[in-house]
Amino acid sequence: MADEIRAGHIAAGSRMPSLRQVIAQHGVSQSTATRAYHLLEQWGLVRAEERSGYFAAPPAAAVEKPAGRRAAPAASSTVDISDLVFSVLDAAKRPGIVPLGSAFPSPQLFPLARLAKSLGQAARIVSPWNTVVDLPPGNENLRRQIALRYMRIGVPQPPDGIVVTDGALEALNLCLMAVTRPGDVVAVESPGFYAALQAIERLDLRAVEIPVDTATGLDLDALADALATHPVRACWFMTNYQNPTGVTLSDEKKKALVELLAKHEVPLIEDDVYGELHYRADYPLPALAYDRHGLVMHCGSFSKTLAPGYRIGWTSAGRFADRVRRLKLMTTLSASIPVQAGIADYLEHGGYDRHLKKIRAALQAQQRAMDDAIRRWLPAGTRWTLPDGGYFLWLEFPQPVDAMALHRLAIEQGISLAPGPIFSAAHAFQNCIRLNYGYPWSPRVDDAVRTLGQLLADPAVRLRA
């Protein structure tokens, strides 16, 4: 019946078969038939009318529309998020789990054999002198290859301003350290990438959360208010395919963001690790493109596009590049030298653009499959948007849901997901989850979404309205 209603074969408002008809047609007991109707009701697919029976509820299909805007917190706050995040990440590590909560795409989508060839080649020819020469800012050829990619999107960056790091996460952390001291206020997105909150927690900073609208992105008015009322020292934002919502800021908004921050002389740490995974024809320009004052520290990575375990990222850090370079030297000295050389070799000879084309097409097809599964299996009234890049969908459920309880039950069923509360300092977004569609579609993944739909009807997951 759920399938029929979702597919529109039973029109909204139509009377559903009576309990007696269901019992006769399906050969089930009265209590089974009643339970089935309760489930349909909980999923928002039917409504009961006293003494008249059940009717198909409008609209039958999950609607694809943005989740609403949220109010910005009036005050900055210290952050206590790590226990929550680690409990979720640790649980998701179980072998054999369906990784809907993962932050990475499937390793099957990466050109691992070709990359290994480049790494082998680099390891054979890397000279002992590179141990010194490739210290931060990093391998010269790699920085040149990265600079070429900036050039191709029309945002030229000097190779000398690029610092190679151990993944984007280190780049982001070093940038934050370069422009803040303990006690400073940092503006972050809400919902936003939990690692920003963890960095703020670790460095004894304070967070002011700026709301993100799932359709239009960061609320610039709220940011302007925050800049006017708090001594904000830095912003850490994603402008392309934001994690977790997938939203990309328009060019006008990126420009306005950069101008607003320039007016207040506040640096922007721009986390752009998903930009290369665009399904549209061109790379969505980063905010960096509008920076005239060297205030934007743009951070990128090969973890999401090419080589997750290789741990190579970078920042083009504008006027802060030298500070970041020194911090890199002071913390971990250098990113792995043969690995830097290997990635540089791959970028030069391996066919990176060909690979990117393939991975983008695969992700887009997987997005269609996930969209379809959500429509089939999750409650009517669930809201989500379809980003034109990356591999995350951010879902908001129609009824109050305890996403942490859903996460725990899902783990028991061998499924991970990213519950909403890990994406905010206030542990908000209880009603939301982030799903990863970066894995090749299979009946197992489809089944996992179906199980989530069933778990959403569990009383342990549903909160009272």
Enumerate binding residues for ligand PLP (CB under 6 A): 103, 167-169, 193, 238, 243, 271, 273, 301, 303, 313
Tokens standing for 246? Answer: 């997938």
Tokens standing for 145? Answer: 């290859």
Contact yes or no for 266/318 (Cβ under 8 A):
no
Min dist CB 273 to ligand PLP, Å, is: 4
Q: Which is nearer to ligand PLP, 272 or 402 (CB)?
A: 272
CA 374, 375, 377, 381 dihedral sign is: positive
Min dist CB 373 to ligand PLP, Å, is: 22
Q: Which is nearer to ligand PLP, 137 or 313 (CB)?
A: 313
Min dist CB 418 to ligand PLP, Å, is: 10
Which phi and psi (to 5°) does residue 282 adopt?
-120, 160
Min dist CB 194 to ligand PLP, Å, is: 9
d(CA 168, CA 332): 14
User: How do the residues of the chain divide into helix, strand and coil, expressed in percent and rounded to 5?
Assistant: 45, 15, 40
The CB-nearest residue to ligand PLP is 167
Min dist CB 210 to ligand PLP, Å, is: 16
Q: Which is nearer to ligand PLP, 238 or 287 (CB)?
A: 238
Q: Which is nearer to ligand PLP, 54 or 437 (CB)?
A: 437
Q: Which is nearer to ligand PLP, 76 or 245 (CB)?
A: 245
Which phi and psi (to 5°) does residue 279 adopt?
-95, -20
Q: Which is nearer to ligand PLP, 67 or 168 (CB)?
A: 168
| Closest C-alpha to 204, from 77, 313, 95, 339 | 77
Min dist CB 105 to ligand PLP, Å, is: 11
Contact yes or no for 397/410 (Cβ under 8 A):
no
| Closest C-alpha to 72, from 228, 242, 263 | 228
Q: What is the 3-state secondary structure (H, E, C) of 367-382?
A: HHHHHHHHHHHCCCCC
